């Protein structure tokens, strides 16, 4: 029987199907109890540290409210106001925090080759579970909530469903690559037919593409890459259009040391994005998908650029139930990793 006590949750690909299913079943149980108003104090007196290198609305609040509902406390840490900003190492930070609490949750997503490595180094040194609240490789608490939302909508057998994970135009900022990477890696585990679409230059990290291919062949699903948003939407059951940054520029950020260099990198990325303003999810494109298709987005969405108001506020959109599921999955991940099997 699957048991995740003491385990890290850094990439969904680190877990077996049974372990992922345990998290999904626990999510369902916790969600039902939440809506019935029943207590779920599975982690009394426990502390989870929430360490953020980047902004958040959903993730922070899902983990903070979630930990309160589990009977424990979530302690928010802005990396900029800790000694991390003076160079204290992930190993030392992890050792200290794990001597004072029961779990460490981290968001470190903005630069390729940094966030995932940071979490792995901290995990190596710390005695408590490390939970990835978004890194450069994966956003596994988001994609688990997405999978939960799909199971609620379509039922637990998602094999054969077509999901279009497409790049979309955004003028706001160069968004991380981790959501599309996490989606193609996880949805292919569940036998889904995953189509990834993006303009040239918006490729994803190679090892996540390899994982998606391997996962699809292992589950009887499929994985393909196209350069045309319409083709991806054709006959899809699920569309998940969202923006992400230019691969080479996201990689080059590793060498950007000053605020000015990062701002320049951001401007170059937005200038490239502006070439593809027609990559928007609008009502015409939604008609290419199945009539029964659902629209998803991790949020925040750039309204009017990534998606029209008519689509995101329309009958096919499931973005708000999807966002609510961030709470229930966060609780499932914390309770399964920070104690014995709860149910």
Binding interface with ligand AOR (CB under 6 A): 54-55, 109, 134, 139, 142, 175-176, 179, 298
**Between residues 55 and 277, which has the closer beta carbon with respect to ligand AOR?**
55
**Between residues 110 and 338, which has the closer beta carbon with respect to ligand AOR?**
110
- The residue within the footprint of ligand CP, chosen from 57, 68, 82, 217 (CB under 6 A), is 57
Query: In sequence order, what are the residues at sequence separation of 6 or more whose Cβ sits closer than 8 angstroms to the Cβ of residue 206?
Result: none
Q: Where would I find the H helices in 39-191?
A: 58-69, 90-100, 115-125, 140-154, 178-187
What is the smallest separation between the CB atom of 143 and ligand AOR, expressed in angstroms? 9
What is the smallest separation between the CB atom of 71 and ligand CP, expressed in angstroms? 23
65 binds ligand CP (CB under 6 A): no
Contact set for ligand CP, span 278-337 (CB under 6 A): 298-299
**Between residues 71 and 300, which has the closer beta carbon with respect to ligand CP?**
300
Burial class (CB in 10 A: 0-12, 13-18, 19+), 66: buried
**Between residues 298 and 312, which has the closer beta carbon with respect to ligand CP?**
298
Q: Which stretch binds ligand CP (CB under 6 A): 16-24, 52-60, 250-258, 312-320?
A: 52-60
Closest CA to 213 of 22, 13, 21, 15: 13
Contact set for ligand CP, span 96-155 (CB under 6 A): 134, 142
**Between residues 180 and 221, which has the closer beta carbon with respect to ligand CP?**
180
Using Cβ positions, the residue closest to ligand CP within the complex turns out to be 59
Name the 3-class secondary structure at 1: coil
C-alpha span between 107 and 95 (Å, rounded): 18
Name the 3-class secondary structure at 324: helix
Chain CA centroid to CA 231, Å: 24
What is the smallest separation between the CB atom of 32 and ligand AOR, expressed in angstroms? 25
**Between residues 142 and 335, which has the closer beta carbon with respect to ligand AOR?**
142
Chain CA centroid to CA 97, Å: 24
**Between residues 41 and 57, which has the closer beta carbon with respect to ligand CP?**
57
Structure tokens at 336: 């399964």
Residue 74 interacts with which of ligand AOR, ligand CP, none, CB < 5 to 8 Å by class: none
Q: How many residues bind ligand CP (CB under 6 A)?
A: 8
Spatial strand order in the sheet of 73-78 = 73-78, 47-52, 103-108, 130-135
172 binds ligand CP (CB under 6 A): no
Closest CA to 199 of 154, 178, 223, 229: 229
**Between residues 178 and 193, which has the closer beta carbon with respect to ligand CP?**
178
Looking only at the bridges linking them, the beta strands covering 238-242 and 294-295 are parallel
What is the smallest separation between the CB atom of 57 and ligand CP, expressed in angstroms? 3
What is the smallest separation between the CB atom of 214 and ligand CP, expressed in angstroms? 26
58 binds ligand CP (CB under 6 A): yes
Structure tokens at 279: 């990559």
Residue 57 interacts with which of ligand AOR, ligand CP, none, CB < 5 to 8 Å by class: ligand CP
Chain CA centroid to CA 216, Å: 19
Structure tokens at 326: 């961030």
Residue 128: how many CA atoms within 13 Å on its side-chain side?
23
Chain CA centroid to CA 294, Å: 18
Residues contributing to the site for ligand CP (CB under 6 A): 56-59, 134, 142, 298-299
């Amino acid at each position: 029987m699957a048991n995740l006590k003491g385990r890290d949750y850094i990439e969904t690909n680190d877990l077996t199907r049974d372990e992922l299913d345990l998290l999904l079943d626990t999510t369902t149980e916790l969600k039902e109890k939440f809506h019935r108003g029943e207590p779920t104090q599975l982690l009394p007196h426990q502390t989870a540290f929430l360490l953020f290198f980047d902004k958040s609305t959903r993730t922070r609040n899902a983990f903070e409210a979630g930990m309160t509902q589990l009977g424990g406390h979530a302690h928010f840490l802005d990396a900029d106001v800790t000694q991390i900003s003076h160079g204290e190492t992930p190993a030392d930070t992890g050792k200290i925090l794990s001597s004072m609490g029961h779990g460490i949750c981290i968001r470190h997503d903005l630069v390729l080759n940094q966030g995932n490595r940071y979490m792995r180094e901290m995990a190596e040194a710390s005695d408590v579970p490390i939970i990835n609240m978004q890194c450069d490789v994966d956003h596994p608490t988001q994609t688990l909530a997405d999978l939960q939302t799909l199971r609620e909508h379509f039922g637990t057998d998602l094999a054969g469903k077509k999901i279009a994970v497409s790049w979309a135009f955004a003028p706001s900022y160069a968004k991380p690559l981790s959501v599309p990477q996490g989606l193609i890696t996880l949805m292919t585990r569940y036998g889904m037919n995953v189509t990834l679409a993006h303009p040239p230059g918006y490729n994803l990290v190679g090892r996540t593409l390899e994982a998606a291919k391997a996962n699809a062949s292992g589950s009887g699903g499929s994985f393909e890459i196209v350069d045309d948003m319409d083709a991806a939407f054709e006959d899809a059951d699920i569309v998940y259009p969202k923006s992400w940054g230019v691969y080479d520029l996201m990689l080059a950020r590793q060498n950007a040391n000053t605020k000015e260099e990062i701002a320049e990198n951001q401007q170059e990325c937005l200038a490239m994005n502006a070439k593809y303003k027609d990559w928007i999810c609008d009502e015409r494109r939604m008609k290419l998908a199945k009539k029964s298709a659902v629209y998803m987005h991790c949020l925040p969405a750039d309204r009017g650029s990534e998606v029209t108001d008519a689509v995101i506020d329309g009958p096919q959109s499931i973005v708000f139930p999807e966002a609510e599921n961030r709470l229930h999955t966060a609780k499932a991940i914390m309770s399964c990793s920070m104690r014995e099997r709860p149910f």
